[in-house]
Amino acid sequence: MEPVKVGLLGLGTVGGGTVNVLARNGEEIARRAGRALVIAKAFTRSPDKPRICDLSGIELATDPWQVVDDPEIAIVAELIGGTDIARELVLGAIERGKHVVTANKALIALHGNEIFARASEKGVMVAFEAAVAGGIPIIKVLREGLAGNRIEWLAGIINGTGNFILTAMRDQGRDFDDVLAEAQRLGYAEADPTFDVEGIDAAHKLTILAAIAFGIPLQFDRVYTEGITRITQEDVRYAEELGYRIKHLGIARRRENGVELRVHPCLVPARRLLANVDGVMNAVVVKGDAVGPTLYYGPGAGAEPTASAVVADLVDVVRTMTADPENRVPHLAFQPDALSDLPPLPMAAVETAYYLRLRVADRPGVLADVARILAGENISIEAVIQKEPQLGQTDVPLIFLTHRVQECAFDAALERITALDSVKAPPYRIRLETLE
């Protein structure tokens, strides 16, 4: 059989990794796919830039439409990123009857509903395994491996850069900006790294996971998103003292009247596997009603781990190119006309436990005042730490862990606690999940 010709859009970290993996494992990949896969053409806007891969044998184009328009190219791999030019190119490829593979979670989270609808009309596939959790085949797991389950919840560390930063802060006491710069050098971070540290990238990924897990449309704008920039070394230490680790989690939970969709820092018991996922590694726990809790672990970013997922998608597409479009796995796991209207819930309705860090005046009655306010909202306290004042200081840190409560009740208590004249700095709260 003739080799299948692939056109690459983008030759950066993921594009370069894809060239390398296909070059190194081409023979074995052909045995899996049933046909050889050849990168015939690749777009880059800077052909003279040094690359991590050998480009010999690949025709370079400085206009991406030269790749998309080429009638010889059967699969376009979009590895540019962003939602402007990437959206135009992906829709352009679909219009021309080409299959698409992409690592672009922003594109899928924001424009996936439109892209998949158009792809279904044209009978082509859009594969996006690399868009979530780098090298972990979590899309495949949710779409196929767990298809017999009613998914109850999933929770994951789904941003490698953020986990890399939190791990280095905890283990090496390193400064946030310094670790972020290293993550950028290693090719882990997004073009705009605020996407990583403010939770936007994780929210893109959670949008995709939740759609596939629950059979709901992609709804990025309904995900509550909070980043890791307010976490201090102090919080990391207090969490450890209380038997927890701070992780940046994406959580999607099915409730009776809707679905929780949230990305935020979270205290996780130190004994949980998820609490011990360090560095650039990602992990996702998925709880299905039949299988119970399952855990998927692997590198969440980087050239070859991500290329592993891109190439797996290329193989999948080649294997199913000849299958009747009606018989392919649906893009979002559920048949497009069978999506549920289960609404995303507001954060006020979310139920979770809390870590609360206060800086208070060191005088009698302060702890009792805070405890009284919490009790007034029916919030039960699980643990308290009060530290000695440091030499020359009159304020002390006061840390509370609470039991589970509705976020609206916690917010009401927090407002009253913030207003106490004994509270000397804006309180900081981190949600806490035992993941049982």
Q: Does 134 bind ligand HSE (CB under 6 A)?
A: yes
Binning the chain into helix, strand and coil, the percentages to the nearest 5 are 40, 25, 35
Q: Does 159 bind ligand HSE (CB under 6 A)?
A: yes
Task: Give the nearest distance from C-beta 95 to ligand HSE in angstroms.
Answer: 27
The CB-based long-range contact list for 253-257 (8 Å cut-off, 24+ gap) reads 253/152, 253/153, 254/150, 254/151, 254/152, 254/153, 254/214, 254/342, 255/345, 255/349, 257/343, 257/345
Q: Does 49 bind ligand NDP (CB under 6 A)?
A: yes
Per CB under 6 A, the list member of 117, 147, 181, 191 interacting with ligand NDP is: 191
User: Could you tell me the two tokens for 115?
Assistant: 């892209």
Q: Does 18 bind ligand HSE (CB under 6 A)?
A: no
Q: Does residue 205 carry a catalytic annotation?
A: yes
- Residue 15 site contact among ligand HSE, ligand NDP, none (CB < 5 to 8 Å, cut-off depends on kind): ligand NDP
Per CB under 6 A, the list member of 58, 68, 115, 130 interacting with ligand NDP is: 130
Q: Per the annotation, where are the binding residues for L-homoserine? A: 190
Q: Does 201 bind ligand HSE (CB under 6 A)?
A: yes
Is there a contact between 206 and 266 (Cβ–Cβ < 8 Å)? no
Q: Does 160 bind ligand HSE (CB under 6 A)?
A: yes
Task: Give the nearest distance from C-beta 312 to ligand NDP in angstroms.
Answer: 13
CA distance 367 to 326: 63
Amino acid at 421: D
Q: Counting Cβ atoms within 10 Å, is residue 97 exposed (0-12), middle (13-18) or buried (19+)?
A: exposed
Print the binding letters for residues 12-41 with ligand NDP: x by CB under 6 A, - otherwise: xxxx--------------------------
- 3-class secondary structure, 321: coil
Q: Does 188 bind ligand HSE (CB under 6 A)?
A: yes
CA distance 198 to 229: 7
DSSP line for 163-205 = HHHHHHHHHH---HHHHHHHHHHTT-S-SSTHHHHTSHHHHHH
Q: Which of 41, 98, 205, 287 is catalytic?
A: 205
Residue 227 or 288 having the CB closest to ligand HSE: 227
Catalytic residue annotation: 205
- Residues near ligand NDP (CB under 6 A) are 10-15, 44-46, 49, 79-81, 85, 103-105, 130, 134, 187-188, 190-191, 301-302, 306
- Residues near ligand HSE (CB under 6 A) are 134, 159-161, 188-190, 196, 201, 300-301
